[in-house]
Structure formats: structure tokens, C-alpha cells
Amino acid sequence: SRICVITLAEAHPLLQSGKTIKNINYQISANCSRLQNKVSGKSKRGAQFLTELAPLCRISSSDGEEYTIYSCIRGRLIEVNENILSNPALLQEKPSTEGYIAVVLPKFEESKSVTQGLLTQKEYEEVLLKRRSSAS
Amino acid sequence: FRNLGLPLAKDDIVQLKEAYKWIIHPQLSEELGVPADGKSLFEVSVVFAHPETDEECRFLATACPDCFKPAKNKQSVFTRMAVIKALEKIKEEDFLKHFPCPPSSPKKLCDALEIQCNNGAVFVAGRYNKYSRNLPQTPWIIDGERKLESSVEELISEHLMAEFKADSFNFSSSGREDVDVRTLGNGRPFAIELVNPRRIRFTAEEMKRLQQAINDSSDKIQVRDLQLVTRSAIGRMKEGEEEKTKTYSALIWTDRAIQREDIAFLDDIKELKLDQKTPLRVLHRRPLAVRCRLIHTMRSEYIDEHHFRLHLKTQAGTYIKEFVHGDFGRTKPNIGSLLNRTADILELDVESVDVDWPPTLAD
């Protein structure tokens, strides 16, 4: 199945200790709210199309920081997780399961290239290590 | 006919199709020396071509252009549906301007293009058990490559195709199960349409032997109550798919430990209402929707601190795996939320499909 579930990465600042989420906003511009995404039928017509840099939502934490979460995947937006609107803690407690952000379905022709463009768990950890060692 | 002042209703007018049969059947009968039967099991189809008929329809295209779309796959733009639509739209006066009523006699005869002989399809029904956790119901082929060997429908149909000497088959069943799910108990009702069978007469004895042959050929599936049925039987079977209950047995794992007391309450829950969004695992080929389903009863069997078996009786169309693991919280409530833990399903078996069709045969 080519379905992609977008979640917060392990190393995201919001998942580090001490941060409390104040607000999650799916209204990313004057004309576009991810909450208004409506899909119909098997081919998910009417879905908002996302590019890698398309913002999904903006999350503000209680210490005044604001984070924009990007899609990183090209494809049709199927649904955004409304459960985290009513229960923001879910995003931090269960980021990889119930606290997911969105579900995206890439185009059939692009699904293979999308999967190949992702990092494996190992590759991700290597990136994090390099980042930390160059920062210190 | 209204102008003739006769009190006629639409149903009083003889359909052209019927009148044609009344005229042609006796003529064919006499010419071929056999009785003409409109419902026979042996069908002879003759295709005629008459290009002048297409010409006659041309005025409809100018009168109602939006009824006729240029067809890519069809031979003619004047399909039956399109012509009917245009005839309903066109006003009687406009119609009469272009076309005489009654119509004039055709000037040319039609040509017979091809003759095809076909045997009417026969239907074989039964119930199947699936004992393998590695067998799809229908062949699993992606990009021309077969992902898993064989399938339930092929294992059953192979023998039937050979005995009935049919050209092809259409397999349908009262619901389906995943590749890794077993079907136990009385099995799941199925029906196979055998297309253009050359042999159709089988005694009950012969059907029994056919059933035995299928059962001897594979340990992955077993069939029972194999019998010939009519086409209307398929409707009864599909009824079962939407309306009848199913019972399952699931082997469940939990992350945090459980004691017997922690799962006992599940046995007391009746008519649990679920809201299930289309599971992620099928979302690529199904529309996004929320379905409301009922879990009628549950019975738990404690195994150890991280495992228990759950027997459930549910409404047709319930996604059991998603009820156990929650599908990212998109099925609510779920076993995880009920037990306040993370749960996952290790094994699933269908214990029964509660449809009382096809009729049970004595052994």
C-alpha cells in the first residue's frame, strides 16, 4: 500500500523534554486550512496536493516558539489528525502512532521514488550523530 | 397512440422485442426442425449489421447533441442508452419533423456477421475452510508477477473447470478474509459461475466425488456442501455478506502486563459501537469514510501477562485487526484504548460465517 503517515521525527524539539504544546493550527494561510481538505472516491478527488515543502500545520509551544511541520512527501493530502487538536498531548506521548499529523497518498507513478528518497532508521541516526558532533 | 383516442397505458403496448420473438421463433423452428426456447441452456447468438440504421439516428444527434459523446471504445456513437436518452428529451413535434411514424420499411437487408454458440452458465455453491495463513482468496499478482502461490478460488475452481469443461469461471463469496487469516468452523459460503460449460448434468453422487477430489488435492483448503444452484442463489449469498454476523478468534499481544482481572470486563461488554475510519492498509484502494459497526459479544481467554485470546461476534463488515491495534487511533474504541495499553494482533481466525446458505448436505 502506498499510504504515507506523517509523524514528528524523534529528534524534533517538540519531543524533547520540557516542551508543552500550546496550540496546533492547521490554518496555514488566509486561503488554506488543512482542516477543510475533503476527499471523495477511491482516487481521492478534491484532495489538497502537497509538495515536499508544503506546510501541514504550525505548532506553538508554551515557551513562545513556533514550529512549522512540513509534508516532506509529494502527494494528495488524505486526512489530518484531528485528535491532536482536541488532545495536543497525544502528539508528544504517542508521536508515531495516535499522535500522527497527516496521511498522504503519493501518485502511483511516484510512489517508488518517494519511498527510495526516505532514510532508514539507521541512516537517520547517523545524520543525527553527525549533526551533534559538528555542533559541539 | 394518444391521438387515436384509445385508453392505452405504456404497458399495453407490446415491446418490439416481444413482437420480434413471436414472429421469428416459429419461423426458425420450422426452418431448423427444433423447438425454439427463449430460456434454453444452449444459446446461439447471431450478430447482424445494418449501417442504414445508424443513418436513421443521425437526426437525433443534431436535435440533442449533448446526449451523444464521441465514443472511444464503442463502434458507434448511437448506443442504446444514448438513443433512449435523446428520445426522452426530444419533443414529439420535432421528432415527427425528421422521422415518420410509423417508420418506413428499410430498403436493404441486414447482414449476418457472426454466429456464436454458447452454453448457459451453471452455478456451483459450497462452503470453504482455509487452513493456510499464506493463501490469498484471489490470485495475488502485481505488475504481472505472482506474489503468492495459488489462491482459494484457483484451488477450488481448477477441478470444477476440468469436470464441467468450462471456458472460464467467476468466483464470488460471502465476504473475504486476508491472506494470513484462517477460516474455520462451517466455512465461508461461495459460489462459482462456470462459463460455457460443456457438461452440466451431475448426480448428487458425482458432486460428492468431485468434492472429495478437491479435498484430497490440498490441505490448505477444504470444501463442503458442494452443489449445483440457480443464478438467484448468488443474491442470497451476497445478502449474507452485508447482513449476517461473523465470529472470530484473535490472539492479542499487549505492551504492558495484564492480569486476569484486567481483561475480565471485556466479557460483559455487549453491543459495543465502533467508529472505524477506512483502514490505512486499504486506503489506497478504498474511499475515505467512517463506518459504524457493532461488536455484539466478546469472550476473553487469559494466556499470560502479555497475551490473551479474544473471541468476538461482530456485525458484517467490521475490521477486526483495526479494532485490536486501533489503526493510529482511527478506529475508536479499540482494544488498546479499552485496556489502556498498546495492543497488537498476532493471529486471526474466522470461527464462523453465520449465513445458512447453501443448504447443508447430509454426508
CB-based contact B329 A39, cutoff 8 Å: no
CB-based contact B285 A98, cutoff 8 Å: no
pLDDT in tens, A2-45: 788 888 777 777 777 677 888 888 887 777 888 888 888 887 88
Burial class (CB in 10 A: 0-12, 13-18, 19+), B170: middle
Q: Does domain A4-135 have CATH number 2.40.50.100?
A: yes
Look at phi and psi of residue B187 and say left if phi exceeds 0, alpha if psi is from -120 to 50, else beta: left
Least CA distance to B326: which residue of chain A? A98
Characterize the bridge pairing of strands A66-70 and A55-61.
antiparallel
How does the average pLDDT of chain B come out, rounded? 87
% of chain B exceeding 90 in pLDDT: 52
Query: Residue B106's pLDDT is what?
Result: 81
pLDDT in tens, B147-176: 888 999 999 999 999 999 999 999 999 888
ipTM of the complex: 0.80
In contact, B143 and B187? CB cutoff 8 Å = no
For B122-243, which CATH class? alpha beta
How does the average pLDDT of chain A come out, rounded? 81
Look up B11 and say whether it is catalytic: no
Domain ranges of chain B: 13-118, 122-243, 246-353
Nearest alpha carbon to residue A116 among A73, A82, A78: A73
Catalytic member of B37, B54, B178, B267: B178
CB-based contact A105 B329, cutoff 8 Å: no
**For the whole model, what pTM was predicted?**
0.77
**A to B CB pairs, distance under 8 Å:** 43
- In angstroms, what is the C-alpha Rg of chain A? 16
Tell me the CATH number for domain B246-353.
3.30.70.3190
Q: Which of B179, B284, B334 to mutate to test the interface with A (most CBs of A within 10 A)?
A: B284
CB-based contact B280 A5, cutoff 8 Å: yes
A contact set with B (CB within 8 A) = 1-3, 5, 39-42, 44, 78-79, 81, 83, 90, 94, 97-98, 100, 103, 105
Residue length of chain A: 136
CA contacts within 13 A on the Cβ side of B121:
16
Residues in CB range of A72: below 8 A, 6 or more apart: A6, A52
Rounded CA-CA distance B56/B220 in Å is 59
Characterize the bridge pairing of strands B181-195 and B343-353.
parallel
Query: Which triple of cell numbers denotes residue A70?
Result: 512540513
Query: B106 touching A, CB under 8 A?
Result: no
Least CA distance to B334: which residue of chain A? A98
Residues in CB range of A13: below 8 A, 6 or more apart: A19, A65, A67
Rounded CA-CA distance B318/B331 in Å is 10
Please report the residues numbered 320 through 339 in chain B whose beta carbons come closer than 8 angstroms to any beta carbon of chain A.
326, 328-329
